[in-house]
Amino acid sequence: MSFRDGREIKESIEALMARIEKLTDEGAVRLGKKPDLIVLPEAGVPFFSAHKTEITTKVRRMYWDRFDSLMFLLANRYKANVFFNEIDAGFKGAPSPRNLRYYNNNVLYDPNGDRRDSYQKKFLLMFGEYMPFDFYMNSVNKPEDLSRD
């Protein structure tokens, strides 16, 4: 799977995560001290979740340990809270394909790298944060499973 311009998704995401780490390190150097809070852009690491659940690992395979590890690393290295955005999934009611829901989550990791809290956004932006009529385009919305590489 690749972007329209031919870039491979895995390579692009790896480069993006390396850039996030580098910019955080450079920001701390410029600040002259460790930050208290690290805030990533809203879609800092698109397509993936740092929330390891049965749904994100087995049902939709959105969890990626590299993403989770980067959030832990930043929090632990700087002893700072890390605020970021991720895609998540859950069932509304009984587990079934019809009840599977996707969420745009805001997440906070504490300075020890522990996931503390998350907020599922209630009002999503059409085409930006959710796909209307996704039941027609279900196969289009499935990112390649990169977590096994």
pLDDT digits (tens, 9 = 90+) for 85-134: 988 888 888 988 888 888 888 999 999 999 998 888 866 666 665 566 65
Q: On the CB side of 73, how many CA atoms lie within 13 Å of its CA?
A: 13
DSSP labels for 32-97?
A: TS--SEEE--TTSSTT-BS---HIIIIIS--B-HHHHHHHHHHHHHHT-EEEEEEEEEEESSSSSG
Which pLDDT score, from 0 to 100, does residue 40 have? 92
C-alpha–C-alpha distance, residues 121 and 25, integer Å:
29
9-120 fold? Nitrilase/N-carbamoyl-D-aminoacid amidohydrolase (3.60.110)
Q: What is the pLDDT of residues 55-88, one digit of tens each?
A: 888 877 888 888 899 999 999 999 999 999 988 8
C-alpha–C-alpha distance, residues 27 and 35, integer Å:
9
Higher-pLDDT residue of 146 and 16 is: 16
- Asked whether the beta carbons of 67 and 86 are under 8 A apart, the reply is yes
Is residue 141's pLDDT more than 50?
no
Q: What is the pLDDT of residues 13-48, one digit of tens each?
A: 888 899 999 999 999 999 999 999 999 987 767 778
- Asked whether the beta carbons of 38 and 78 are under 8 A apart, the reply is yes
Which pLDDT score, from 0 to 100, does residue 130 have? 59
Which pLDDT score, from 0 to 100, does residue 75 have? 97
C-alpha–C-alpha distance, residues 80 and 112, integer Å:
8
List the chain domain ranges. Answer: 9-120
Tokens of 18: 């390396």
46 contact partners, CB below 8 Å, separation of at least 6: 13, 87
C-alpha–C-alpha distance, residues 26 and 5, integer Å:
29
